[in-house]
Structure formats: structure tokens, C-alpha cells
Amino acid sequence: MRHPNMLIRTLPILLAAAGLTCAQNQDSEVHVWPVQGDIYMIVGAGGNITVQAGKDGVLVVDTGLANMSDKVLAAIKTISTGPIRYIINTHYHADHTGGNAKIRAAGSTITGGNVAGDIKDAAEGAAVIAHNNVLNRLSAPTGTDAPSPEGGWPTSTFLSDQKKLYFNGEGIDILHQPAAHTDGDSIVFFRRDDVISTGDIFTTTAYPIIDLAAGGSIQGTIDALQKIVDMIIPIYGQEGGTMVIPGHGRLCDFGDVLNFREMTIIIRDRIQDMIKKGMTLEQVKAARPTQDYDPLYGSTTGFWTTDKFVEAVYKSLKGEK
Ligand SMILES: [Zn+2]
Ligand SMILES: [Zn+2]
């Protein structure tokens, strides 16, 4: 079943200095949508925020932009007044981690449980879980910019390709996808509620956003999209079943992810063929390898234009940054 009213408008996107964010909202209101089971989605605060709420408290996936934290906290309270125990970050961009410091401070860590052993500061707010590359990106200076404030850094990182958590009676898989949108992307899978939070590996508002400078790649993006497709169990005819919360845009299901993966592979193949013919980047752009998909995903303005996508695919396939 498709959920009603999920046609959330495309967020205007702007590139912040140093590429630390991939989107910025200009709508000052946030909205809460029930997804299924204990899972909710908060939109309008930057990247989409996933909320799982139950008897043990609240877990959020991503925290939106820093300047939206008060509204995000108010929105979380409309879902549950329980303590915020966990924050999981899908990647380091500021539209997904900007609210970490404030939302973490509003929560409290569980002492005991299956991740407490590696939490450094059990007394100081919610635990922030992310792949180690997220911490590296948030804590390392980028060019002339200072690193992001320490209060927003992950407190519990993992180096392997998977971390497991059990919370609110539900198993949660955190699955690292190397070199996709960035080098630190995680897919978060709520096993009982059958919901996947993808971060910016998958969005409905633009072509795949590949942050080459932060270790992203076209092949890694395709591999991660394939992983999401493999995890989904639809009901009939591709609709319903596992629900998918994208990094930006509306709630999705199997057919949406399948179409996005197909589009990405087709455009990758076209650009690969053009590279084999010896075409330059300018020639590839002029040949418009995305033309038939531009009405759905294309853009000539904003942060992630069609030209930038084509350039990222071209450079990624040639092994350039
Ligand atoms: Zn991003
Ligand atoms: Zn984003």
C-alpha cells in the first residue's frame, strides 16, 4: 500500500562551503509522517530523519541541519516523550549530522545493553553511532575550514561492514556501503518493522549524488543500490512490503528503488561507452547521456545539476577525483 500525502516537494539544494552538506532547506516547517510499525519520518529539516519510538525510548537516523534542531526535537516529542537513546548517522554531510550535538544533548545513553561497552561518554546524552569514516570526515579539517564541533561527532564508531543493535524489541542492522555517496555511508534496516533508511545513496529528488572528494563512486553507488534492492521484499507487483526512506524526497517502496537503480546503471553504461570511444568530458556532456531521464531527475540549477552528475560519473569511471 502506498502511504498518502507523501509527495514531498523537492528541497531546494545549495552547496555549502567545502561540500559539507548536500542540501539545505528553505522551508522552515518540519513534518512528521508515520511509515509503518514504530517507524516515523521527519521531513523538512535538511535530510530526511527516521524515528523509531517504543518502550525503551527513541532512536533517530540522522538529525537534519543544525539550525533546525529545535523543530526536530519538537517533532520527535509529538511521536514520543521517551528519552532519545540513539542517533545513527548515515553519512557525514551537515544536512544529516548538523543536529547531532543538540539532539544528542537532549537525550541520554543507556548504560548496559549491547553497545554500551564502546561508548566513551555514557553520561553525556544519546549515543551517536556511525561508521568510522563519518568521524574521520567530521573531525578532520577540510581545506581552510575548521572541523565540525566535537559535540556533534559520533561517540560509537565501527570499522567493519556491519553493526547490529537491538532496541525497542527490534533488531537493527547498520550496513556500511564503501565508496557510494561518500566513503562512510550506512544503510539502516529495521528488521521487525521492515523499513530501510538509505541516507543519500538513494533520493527521489535528483540523480545519484556522488561526492567524489569524500570517497564516493558510481560503482559503489550502484553496488549499494543493488544491496537495497536485494533487501526489499515487496508484496505484489512491486508495491508495499518493505518501505524505504530516502535521504531526500518521499517515502518509497521496491518499484521506486528498482527504477532508480536501473536508471543509474543505464546512464553509467552510456557514459562508459562514450569513454571507450575516447570522448572528452565536454563531448559526453554535449551528447546528453541522461536526456530521457532529465524530466524526472535533471536540473540545470542548484547544487546537484545534471552536468555535475555526468561529470562525477565520467571522472569516477576514469578514476579521477
Ligand atoms: Zn549527503
Ligand atoms: Zn543529504
What are the DSSP E strand ranges found in 37-155?
39-43, 49-54, 57-61, 84-88, 127-131
> CB of 92 within 8 A of CB of 140?
no
Distance 184 CA to ligand 2 centre (A): 13
Q: Which ligand is located closest to the Cα atom of residue 45?
A: 2
Query: C-alpha cell of 129?
Result: 553511532
Give percent of the chain with pLDDT exceeding 90. Answer: 78
Q: How far apart are CA 252 and CA 234, in angstroms?
A: 11
pTM assigned to the model: 0.88
**3-18: pLDDT as tens digits:** 433 333 333 333 333 3
Tens of pLDDT along 112-138? 444 444 444 445 799 999 999 999 999
- The answer to whether 33 and 41 are in contact (CB under 8 A) is yes
- Closest-approaching ligand to the CA atom of 201: 1
Percent of the chain with pLDDT over 70: 84
**237 Cα–ligand 1 center, Å:** 31
Contact 98, 150 (CB under 8 A): no
For residue 11, the ligand closest to its alpha carbon is 2
Q: What's the rounded Cα separation, in Å, for the pair 111 and 134?
A: 24
The torsion of the CA quartet 99, 105, 108, 109, rounded to 10 degrees, works out to 70
pLDDT at 241: 92
Residue 48 Cα, ligand 1 centroid: separation in angstroms?
11
Grid coordinates representing 206 are 535528483
